[in-house]
């Protein structure tokens, strides 16, 4: 009974997040355009100067998984802003006085962000052939699975931060501060196999690193020489999956605790 | 039957006492009012009754459930309309209600029935498919009342329900609230700092600096003021005050050059007063006491919108007391 009620309440919160996302067409379009812009600018710019022929694989191909991961990261992060927004505009009170557990609120919010981020990631996958990136149909379920795991870990991190923030402005600032370092030190732009040690350490605690690493290995499997792919990869895919899972569980628990404490 | 029981409730924040040993109970089916200036402890009390805040001390039961140990049962028993809007204005009216119904585990068939009933009650049925953003302040408040009723609460809490609304919308809203009481026998617990609204209540608590200073029906509270109120204008207010004290043993209050006295049978007293009075009087008015007068009588101050924040007010009060 308790379980069914938690699911029902989380479902209601999830549905609201989704309706709000769906009504905000500007947000849908801008979050779609942003990764493509990155791809167009960095892909073309870096390809013509820095990355000529060093990898043994095409630079756009190399970057594409990173772009997908980045898009998932920014969407998952910014979807959790709704928690801060709810606090600022009073709607959170409506949720807090309801006879539901705090866990169902945390889960509903995270699942909402995961759904939205995964849809964006999926759309980017569908666009791949247009950008002359070939996808093997069999890799689709694996890619989707990893996109969901990346979304989970980052939405949890977003909610943890959102639980601690009082205003949407401060949330936005902290997010900006996190997004770029996380993105640049994730292996999305350049392989992390030969970077200085401090960067390796940063990359090792960055969940995005594992997402990019896994997505790239799955996406480029059999499209590029195995040797070249191995050269730019960090971990076996199973290790990436394990890290993302453990990271998500730990951060969700912290987020639920922080949310509970704050409210 | 007592639907709310509060015994010796205390709430302290950072060393300041917002609610100071209050006790009262609310009967089923009555409109129960909490009247006081901003920062008197009204919202704090509502937040404790609705489980949003834990009391520092004391026992609180709502619908026979303890607010500390039976939070979910208390939450199911109450509907809440907050002082600040708490709707999602990017959803439609209906979507806001549906969200609420799901959080309160109202079955789908029950929700369909209730939705029409409550939306018709607040006259928003025709606007149910509209995004809340397009609603006026009064419509939003009405929708919040409708939402608070979706899950059959035993008590409806209204925290300053008419704050920020124009007078016409305000009186309209009162029509709905009174209809709720008449048709649904709903228990309503409300706070206000408008004196004229306190008149709608069956029973009323007047609260100031976290303490109960008066607790009765509005009529009885007015009676306690001591009958009628006479306001006299005079070029020599001090002299008039003295004369009233000497001749009739009346304790007059002076405000902005006018003199105010409370007296039984003002109508028969006035002719006698003018016959005997030495000091010059330039104007006179006689009226029955309002709750404004009750507040003034009980606290020595007028109730009005305070510009200071509640916390500032509390600090000032503590400071004044220390001196």
pLDDT for B143-183, tens place per residue?
A: 999 999 999 899 999 998 888 788 888 888 888 889 888 88
CA distance B163 to B175: 16
Q: How confident is the model at residue B315 (pLDDT cuts 50, 70, 90)?
A: low
* CATH at residue B167: 3.40.50.300
Beta-carbon separation of B78 and A8 below 8 A: no
Q: Which of A8, A23, A90 sits opposite B86 (nearest CB)?
A: A90
Judged by DSSP in three states, A166 sits in: coil
Would residue B312 count as lying in a domain? no
Q: Among A21-25, A42-46, B52-56, B136-140, which stretch is predicted with the lowest mean pLDDT? A: A42-46
Q: Among B22-26, B221-225, B230-234, which stretch is predicted with the lowest mean pLDDT? A: B221-225
For residue B82, give how far its alpha carbon lies from the nearest alpha carbon of chain A (Å). Answer: 8
Answer yes or no: do B172 and B201 share one domain.
Answer: yes
Whether B115 shows a pLDDT value over 70: the answer reads yes
Confidence at residue B323, expressed as pLDDT on a 0 to 100 scale = 44
* CATH at residue B231: 3.30.70
Answer yes or no: do B55 and B170 share one domain.
Answer: yes
Would residue B299 count as lying in a domain? no
Would residue B302 count as lying in a domain? no
Q: What residue of B is the nearest CA neighbor of A1?
A: B105
Tell me which chain A residues have a C-beta less than 8 angstroms from the C-beta of B84: 90
Answer yes or no: do B183 and B154 share one domain.
Answer: yes
For residue A111 the two structure tokens come to: 């699942």
Q: How confident is the model at residue A116 (pLDDT cuts 50, 70, 90)?
A: very high
Answer yes or no: do B111 and B253 share one domain.
Answer: no
Answer yes or no: do B163 and B239 share one domain.
Answer: no
Would residue B298 count as lying in a domain? no
Mean pLDDT of chain A, nearest integer:
87
Q: Does B75 touch chain A (CB under 8 A)?
A: yes
What is the average pLDDT across B203-229? 88
User: Which has more pLDDT, B304 or A74?
Assistant: A74
pTM for the model: 0.82
Q: What residue of B is the nearest CA neighbor of A13?
A: B99
Confidence at residue B307, expressed as pLDDT on a 0 to 100 scale = 45
Kindly provide the ipTM of the predicted complex, given to two decimals.
0.85
Angstrom CA distances, A170 to A20, A177, A205, stand at 22, 11, 24
Answer yes or no: do B230 and B211 share one domain.
Answer: no
Beta-carbon separation of A11 and B102 below 8 A: yes
For residue B298 the two structure tokens come to: 């009980």
Confidence at residue B309, expressed as pLDDT on a 0 to 100 scale = 53
Would residue B189 count as lying in a domain? yes
Q: Does A5 touch chain B (CB under 8 A)?
A: yes
Would residue B23 count as lying in a domain? yes
Judged by DSSP in three states, A8 sits in: helix
* Mutual angle of helices A2-23 and A25-38, in 10-degree steps: 80
Domain of residue B83: give its range: 2-221
Q: How confident is the model at residue B247 (pLDDT cuts 50, 70, 90)?
A: confident
What is the average pLDDT across A74-101? 90
Best probe of the A interface among B98, B99, B108, by most A CBs < 10 A, is B99
Number of domains in chain B: 2
Would residue B284 count as lying in a domain? yes
Is the Cβ–Cβ distance between B230 and B284 less than 8 Å? yes
What is the average pLDDT across B104-123? 92
Answer yes or no: do B162 and B202 share one domain.
Answer: yes
Answer yes or no: do B44 and B150 share one domain.
Answer: yes
Answer yes or no: do B190 and B124 share one domain.
Answer: yes
Mean pLDDT of chain B, nearest integer:
87
What is the average pLDDT across A186-206? 87
Whether B49 shows a pLDDT value over 60: the answer reads yes
Answer yes or no: do B120 and B168 share one domain.
Answer: yes
Whether B256 shows a pLDDT value over 80: the answer reads no
Confidence at residue B26, expressed as pLDDT on a 0 to 100 scale = 95
User: Which has more pLDDT, A46 or B296?
Assistant: B296
Whether A225 shows a pLDDT value over 80: the answer reads no
CA distance A165 to B55: 25
Whether B303 shows a pLDDT value over 80: the answer reads no
Would residue B236 count as lying in a domain? yes
CA distance B301 to B30: 29
Answer yes or no: do B159 and B181 share one domain.
Answer: yes
Confidence at residue B170, expressed as pLDDT on a 0 to 100 scale = 83
Answer yes or no: do B29 and B177 share one domain.
Answer: yes
Beta-carbon separation of A98 and B82 below 8 A: no
Is the Cβ–Cβ distance between A128 and A222 less than 8 Å? no
């Amino acid at each position: 009974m308790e379980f069914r009620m938690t699911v029902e309440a989380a479902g209601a919160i999830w549905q609201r997040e989704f309706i709000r996302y769906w009504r905000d067409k500007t947000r849908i379009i801008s979050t779609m355009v942003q990764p493509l812009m990155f791809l167009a600018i960095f892909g073309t710019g870096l390809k013509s100067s820095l990355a000529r022929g060093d990898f043994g694989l095409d630079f756009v191909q190399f970057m594409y998984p990173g772009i997908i991961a980045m898009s998932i990261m920014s969407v998952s992060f910014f979807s959790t802003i709704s928690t801060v927004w709810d606090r600022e505009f009073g709607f959170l009170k409506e949720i807090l006085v309801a006879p539901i557990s705090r866990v169902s609120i945390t889960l509903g919010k995270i699942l909402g962000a995961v759904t939205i981020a995964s849809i964006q990631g999926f759309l980017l996958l569908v666009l791949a052939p247009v950008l002359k990136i070939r996808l093997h149909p069999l890799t689709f379920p694996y890619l989707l699975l990893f996109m969901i795991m990346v979304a989970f870990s980052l939405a949890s991190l977003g909610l943890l931060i959102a639980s601690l923030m009082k205003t949407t402005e401060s949330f936005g600032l902290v997010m900006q501060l996190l997004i770029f370092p996380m993105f640049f030190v994730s292996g999305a732009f350049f392989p992390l196999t030969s970077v200085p040690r401090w960067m390796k350490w940063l990359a090792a605690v960055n969940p995005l690193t594992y997402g990019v690493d896994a997505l790239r290995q799955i996406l480029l499997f059999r499209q590029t020489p195995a040797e070249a792919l191995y050269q730019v990869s960090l971990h076996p895919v199973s290790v990436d999956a394990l890290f993302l899972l453990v990271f998500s569980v730990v951060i969700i628990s912290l987020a639920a605790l922080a949310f509970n404490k704050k409210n | 039957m007592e639907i709310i029981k509060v015994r010796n409730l205390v709430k302290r924040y950072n060393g300041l006492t917002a609610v100071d040993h209050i006790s009262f109970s609310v009967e089923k089916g009555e409109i129960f009012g909490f009247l006081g200036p901003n920062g008197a402890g009204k919202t704090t009390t509502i937040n404790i009754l609705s489980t949003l805040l834990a009391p520092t001390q004391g026992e609180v039961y709502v619908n026979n459930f303890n607010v500390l140990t039976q939070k979910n049962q208390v939450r199911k028993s109450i509907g809440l309309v907050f002082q600040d809007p708490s709707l999602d204005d990017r959803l439609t009216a209906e979507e806001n209600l549906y969200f609420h119904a799901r959080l309160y585990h109202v079955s789908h068939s029950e929700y369909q029935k209730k939705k029409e009933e409550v939306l018709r009650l607040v006259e928003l049925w025709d606007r149910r498919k509209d995004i809340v953003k397009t609603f006026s302040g009064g419509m939003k408040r009405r929708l919040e009342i409708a939402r608070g009723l979706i899950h059959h609460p035993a008590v409806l809490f209204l925290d300053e329900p008419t704050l920020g609304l124009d007078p016409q919308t305000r009186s309209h809203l009162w029509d709905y609230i009174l209809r709720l009481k008449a048709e649904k026998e709903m228990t309503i617990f409300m706070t206000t700092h408008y004196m004229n609204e306190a008149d709608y209540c069956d029973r009323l608590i007047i609260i100031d600096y976290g303490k109960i200073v008066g607790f009765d029906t509005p009529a009885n509270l007015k009676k306690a003021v001591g009958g009628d109120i006479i306001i006299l204008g005079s070029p020599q207010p001090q002299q008039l005050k003295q004369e009233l004290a000497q001749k009739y043993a009346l304790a007059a209050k002076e405000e902005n050059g006018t003199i105010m006295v409370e007296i039984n049978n003002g109508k028969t007293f006035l002719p006698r007063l003018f016959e005997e009075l030495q000091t010059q009087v330039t104007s006179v008015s006689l009226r029955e006491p309002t709750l404004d007068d009750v507040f003034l009588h009980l606290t020595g101050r007028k109730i009005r919108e305070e510009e200071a924040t509640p916390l500032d007010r509390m600090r000032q009060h503590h400071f004044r007391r220390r001196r």
